[in-house]
Chains A and B, each alone.
Chain A
Amino acid sequence: MAGDIWALAEAWKGQVSEITYEMLALGREVAEGLGRGLQAVLLGHEVKGLAETLGLADGVLCVDHPALAGPPAEASCRVLGQLVRERGPTAILTPLTNVSWDVTTSLAAHLQAPFISFCKDAQVQDGRLQARCVLYGGKMEAIVVAGGGPTVLGILPGARPAEKGRAERTPSVEEVAVSLPEAPRAVFKNFIEPEAGDVDIARQEVLVAVGRGIQSQDNLALAGELARALGGAVCGSRPVIDQGWLPLSRQVGKSGAIVKPRLYLAAGVSGAPEHVEGMKDASLIVAINTDPQAPIFNVAHYGVVADALDLLPLITEEVRKVVSEKP
């Protein structure tokens, strides 16, 4: 229906991503606030079967086309643009993830529509859609509204719990035929998987994470010692991987792995949103940072203001003592 709230589903490697359900939960609240319906939009090739999982939406607009195989890119943008022009939603929630990166802003550009980025929340105030956005790497938050026309919102992971976005019911699915006459100018060739044989950090129960605060590569050994003592593995935030101190397979965050270990011990990690995305659901988060204002303390369960280089060996020693004293 015109004026509906849309949520752009993200399908990755044959599955619907968690963020889709998070956005459906948020979208349902916003739709109710505006007295409108909620539509999920699912694009891809051979994805029809995934539509039934999107039951929180009133309906699913599904476009299944060979040109939409592979990761979302130019073709997805064109299709979405067509759909939006035809059906006039009020707002489209899109995932701010690496997978959907190339579609979100481009869609708004295609539609000459406003784009609101970094949304961690959205609500309806005085009959108007308002977004709460994270700016400057988490240092500020803004309440933002957009001018007329359909608004495209970039939704950060974690805006709502994914469970709230799932529903038992099967939604009605409308298959939409589209024409895609032009060949895309950017052609997907293949995926490059990370090197096999290394530790799969997503499977680890205990992770010791290092960030810029570890200062230099040879301090990694301190984290390694603790990880060994706890029976876990070392992982890192983006800056550590960029420097080449850890391989790509150890990166946690937006461009790396999403991990949910029983323990995530963050040493010298500031807690930038891109990293937090990757670890916020860990059962126990302990953070060590010299900066008491570090954003990591907002997501950690326990925190210590200290130099990780001093504290890590002490914790390791203590852990070894306790473990050796166990019967």
Chain B
Amino acid sequence: MRILVLLKMVPDVVEELEVAPDGRSLDIEFLRLMVNERDDHALEEALLLKERYGGSVTVLALDAPEMDDALFTALAKGADRAVKVSDGGAGLNTRATASLFAQALSAVPDLWPADLVLTGCQAIDDLDGLLAPLLAHELNLPYLGLVTRVEVSGGEATLVKEYAGGVRGEFGVLLPAVLGVQAAERPPRYVPVARVRAAMKSQKIEAVPSAGEVEAVPVEVLHLAKPEATEHAEMLEGTSEEVAGKVCEVLAERGLL
């Protein structure tokens, strides 16, 4: 089985996000990027599938700060190959990202064909749409999102995806396909730092230039700002005991006790 995993960097919201002077983008001075959380799940699911069915996992990403760390970490976790598209540009809109990935698949030798393309089902900066369906459209492949489990038999995958209220749905899809992973079957594994450092010494990331141009952004941000809280909770203050008492008063007022 050949599996491709696409990784994308998104702003790390542990850091305070600020708006740049232009009023329409993020201030990059203290901005830190991290791998999209759902992409970590996509990688984990890919590694589980490799353990189950054999084959290879190739990780593909657009270059960005700290991307190398993420790619070596993926290699240390068990991915077989890591490819980085240079001049990809962090902060590209999702549609451009999808185009660059699609172009890389035909430009980079021995990347395509693959059986499965996995990526996170969504990211916090997907303003102009989700990566997985955009890529699926470019590649003319079937797509399903919110996937939480994949099994493969013959040229077909059976997968489970989420709906609402705890209800899930089972689908069959002909391979190759693009899947947006919501959660891997187990939480993303830990990899010892020594392994990552060893990967940095013994393995390489293939850096390939981005092929061709990307179409103009069809979606424009006029203004970016921290949200005004139109409402805000009435905050209860005091010592822990005092607050516990106040909470009970509120509950009692509403007839909940």
Contact = CB atoms under 8 A, between A and B. Distances in A.
Q: Do chains A and B touch in the complex (CB under 8 A)?
A: yes
Interface of A: 12, 70-71, 73-74, 97-99, 101-102, 104-106, 108-110, 113-118, 130, 133-147, 154, 184-194, 202, 206, 230, 242-243, 248-249, 251, 254-258, 262-263, 283-287, 297-306, 310-311, 314-315, 317-319, 322-323, 326
Contacts of B124: 135-137
Given A109-B134, A114-B218, A147-B220, A136 B165 contact: no
A136 B221 CA distance: 14
B201 interface: no
A146 B220 contact: yes
B163 A98 contact: yes
A187 B235 contact: no
B227 A185 contact: no
Given A135-B125, A185-B174, A322-B252, A192 B169 contact: yes
Contacts of A304: 235-237, 243, 247
A136 B225 contact: no
Contacts of B231: 298-299
B173 A185 contact: yes
B228 to A, nearest CB: 8
Nearest to B41: A242
Contact of A263 (B13, B220, B236, B254): B254
Nearest to A137: B124
A143 B223 contact: yes
B69 to A, nearest CB: 21
Nearest to B186: A244
A317 B133 contact: no
Contacts of A147: 216, 218-220
Give the top 8 A-B pairs by smallest Cβ distance, nearest first: A303-B233, A194-B166, A109-B137, A185-B142, A314-B244, A114-B218, A115-B129, A105-B129
A319 B251 contact: yes
A189 B165 contact: no
Interface of B: 10-11, 13, 17, 19, 24, 26, 121, 124-130, 133-134, 136-138, 141-146, 158, 160, 162-174, 177, 182-183, 187, 216, 218-227, 229-237, 240-241, 243-245, 247-248, 250-252, 254, 256-257
Contacts of A326: 257
Pick from A71, A135, A256 the residue with the most CB of B within 10 Å: A135
A116 B128 contact: yes
Given A105-B134, A109-B134, A298-B232, A322 B125 contact: no
A186 B248 contact: no
Contacts of B125: 135-136
A134 B226 CA distance: 10
A136 B163 contact: no
Given A286-B250, A301-B233, A315-B248, A133 B163 contact: no
A193 B247 contact: no
B220 A144 contact: yes
A305 to B, nearest CB: 7
A192 B149 CA distance: 13
16 contacts: A71-B163, A71-B169, A106-B133, A115-B129, A117-B126, A135-B224, A138-B227, A141-B225, A143-B221, A154-B129, A190-B170, A191-B169, A206-B256, A262-B254, A318-B245, A322-B248
Contacts of B146: 98, 101-102, 255
A191 B169 CA distance: 4
A115 B219 contact: yes
A318 B169 contact: no
- Scoring B10, B224, B237 by chain A CB atoms within 10 A of each residue's CB, the highest score goes to B224
Contacts of A317: 244
B123 to A, nearest CB: 10
Nearest to B164: A98
Contact of B162 (A98, A193, A305, A314): A98
